[in-house]
Chains A and B, each alone.
Chain A
Amino acid sequence: MSHPPSVTYASGAIVRLIGSDLMTEPTTAALLRRLAPVSDGAHSTILDERQLALLAAVAARLVPQTERTAAIDLVGSFHRRLVEGTGVGWRYAELPAAAVMHRTGLAALNASAAAAFGSEFVELQAAQQDELLRTVQSGKTWPVAWRGIDPAMWFEELLATLVDIFYAHPLAQDDIGFAGMADAHGWPDVGLGAREVYEPEPVPGEQLGA
């Protein structure tokens, strides 16, 4: 199966739409809230400092951020969801509730790092971290205390949550050239290749290869 080359978009085209007359008020308000700094989940004890540092290291491998998206606070948003109990309306019956699941999963990941490489996850080289994460994703892992949690299911939940936070952010939507939030006037032409002037085009010559 061939893979098309990955394209890139010039920075800022989407963010400039926010607050313009191309966007309705409810959409503008929602995106401005998203751009605001994540209020810290204040006084919560779901994850401690050490677990948050571990989560940050994992997030950096699963959803690596560039300078362009660095302002997206993955860990802050993730933690706030745990503190506020924000879910997606369902969970695998085999897994415990989110807070217990992620505390247990992160602890088991660290224990796996120790079993495989003799160090904590945050101390490992990126390639070692990736190897460890691939193993957890595959569901085959070291005999450490997962306390009844299926490693592959936990990995899926962790990844899906981080991805959900990342691509909900206007900076990540800017990165992929999504202009659907320009909703004030509708789309008169919707066929292949149809484009309004405010819909970004890929930057010519900046294909990354697959």
Chain B
Amino acid sequence: MTAMHALDEMVDAVVIGTGAGGAPLLSRLAEAGLKVVALEAGRHWQPQQDFATDEEEQNKLFWMDERLSAGANPIEFGKNNSGIGVGGSTLHYTAYVPRPQPDDFKLHREFGVGADWPIGYDDLAPYYDELELFLGVSGPQSYPWGPSRPPYPLSPLPLNAAAQLMDRACAKLGIATSPAPNAALSAPYFHPAYGRRQACTNRGFCQAGCSTGAKASMDVTYIPRALARGAELRPSCFVTELPLGRSGKISGVVYVRDGQREVQRCRHVFLCAGAIETPRLLLINEIANSSKQVGKNFMAHTGLQIWGTFDEMTRPYKGIPGGLISEETHRPPDADFAGGYLLQSIGVMPLTYAGQVARGRGLWGDALLRHMRNYNQVAGINILGDCLPHEDNELLLSDECDGRGLPKPLVRFTAQDNELRMTAHADRLMRQIWGAAGAEDVWAYQRFAHTIGTARMGDDPGTSVVDADGRAHDVANLTICDNSVFPSALAANPALTIMALALRTADRFLARAAQGDA
């Protein structure tokens, strides 16, 4: 079982972060017999005992160290897109796991804008297959969009009210839909690597932590497998330094645990801290940045939401939040923008909804209270659309320090012409759909989802931070594996692709190691 390595023991690898990037990679390395240590900034929760169905209580799952948001579309962090704890952002992802389509990886070739990936769909497809089986993804037998693929291992989760309303309206308008692929179990599931997980109880609380283990977060899937194969997990360890030795390699990882500074010696470092903390750590340590690309090309998916109030009771707190999907808008024939988006029905918890009503709609006083008394009749749809990399959108170190004395990250984000055109297209279409569904009091919430980019992969060390295998161009024993390496945003939720990259990154590393080239 779990190993315990001494700090001065030269372990094979330290993995920083235990989310969608770190956890599958950790597991793969441990399975290969490597001595590996995972460092996680947050705690190791026991969901059944620690997770309440209460949004404020569950703020403990979000990264609450303050980030500064600038630009014309300042990004909301915290509960919108960040995670902390063993499992990282998968603790709060909605488990929505559509695959990107092959053309997403080569937007530049198709449209002459954005950036192409140095790898393609075919490089990741075997890993998508493996992941969907391992996680236990619920979805349709036959998925209507993208290349042919195996059926999902479990039948779809039940459609909640928002999904039924979208289904009904899209049928009227002739827009094809499908039950969405979700990494939450529609039936009990057994895997020898982690044992038995129970079926989803439709608690609807994915975004604030699954208490039953039905959602495939990393803490109930890859982490138990990694521990069973001998990985060591150190929660509550905040990494601060990646010192370079005389060879130009990182000699060990410096972190703070219980206020004490510790250093773990290691041969290789896998940095999987996400598209904010990964570039922040690199910038603070002034490494891996000869390209000056660290922090550049920050992207966030277009995520416009359309809300409406219905005569029927929706009780939007129940069921898998993203029950229904349509990819008919992947390449809309009337598009005046590059790339595309997917459509999704959405449930919502009351505190999240009230916050959006306050910030997005500016309702207060009696108008606010009246609107919120209709919460049980509200339903939403949204998009998840591509975002092009842009030089003005970036992460920097601010001159303000946090409680640890480290500079707070500052993120500038301004939606550019392509994002604005795509959002306008989606606004028209979704209002049409919600109109056909019978919605009243329809309103739009402008949201940008996920944190992407900031340490892009590429073949040219002059314009990218890591190569196609995630290896830093500048530091021989540093590999990055999380959403920061994405050269473009892809028109699909990122978690599944981060996991696929993690498995691929591990396999490429192990293959090189077997040849004595790691």
Contacts and interface: CB of A to CB of B under 8 A. Distances in A.
A82 B101 CA distance: 46
Given A164-B351, A183-B53, A62 B365 contact: yes
A137 B358 CA distance: 11
Interface in A92-138: 92-94, 130, 133, 137
A151 interface: no
A210 to B, nearest CB: 7
A180 to B, nearest CB: 3
B105 interface: no
A169 B39 CA distance: 36
Contacts of B373: 6-9, 175-177, 208
B350 to A, nearest CB: 5
Contact of A30 (B54, B63, B359, B369): B54
A190 B354 contact: no
B354 to A, nearest CB: 4
Interface stretch (B153-161, B258-266, B288-296, B499-507): B153-161
Given A176-B375, A187-B318, A192-B313, A91 B69 contact: yes
B211 A26 contact: yes
A88 interface: yes
Interface centre among B67, B161, B314, B364 (most CB of A within 10 A): B364
Interface in A151-183: 156, 159-160, 163-164, 166-168, 173, 175-181, 183
B370 A210 contact: yes
A137 to B, nearest CB: 6
Interface stretch (B25-33, B119-127, B202-210, B243-251): B202-210
Contacts of B317: 178-180
Contact of A90 (B75, B309, B311): B75
Contacts of B365: 61-64, 130
A169 to B, nearest CB: 9
Interface stretch (B76-84, B217-225, B469-477): B76-84
Given A89-B64, A130-B365, A178-B317, A167 B351 contact: yes
Contact of A88 (B54, B79, B160, B200): B79
A144 interface: no
Contacts of B161: 190-194
B51 interface: yes
A112 B309 CA distance: 37
A194 B371 CA distance: 22
Contacts of A181: 53-54
Interface string B74-98: 1111110010000000000000000
A90 B66 contact: yes
A93 B53 contact: no
B355 A4 contact: no
A210 B367 CA distance: 8
A27 B56 CA distance: 11
A208 B374 CA distance: 11
B441 A187 contact: no
Contacts of A178: 317, 350, 375-376
A3 interface: yes
A206 B70 CA distance: 45
A6 B205 CA distance: 26
Contact of A89 (B70, B79, B160, B371): B79
Nearest to B55: A168
8 nearest A-B pairs in the assembled complex, by CB-CB distance: A186-B201, A89-B78, A180-B317, A190-B319, A90-B77, A30-B57, A93-B70, A183-B53
Given A89-B66, A160-B358, 6 more contacts: A9-B373, A27-B52, A93-B74, A93-B398, A94-B70, A137-B362
Interface of B: 49-57, 62-70, 74-79, 82, 158-161, 164-165, 200-205, 211, 309-315, 317-319, 349-351, 354-355, 357-359, 362, 364-366, 368-377, 398, 410, 440-442
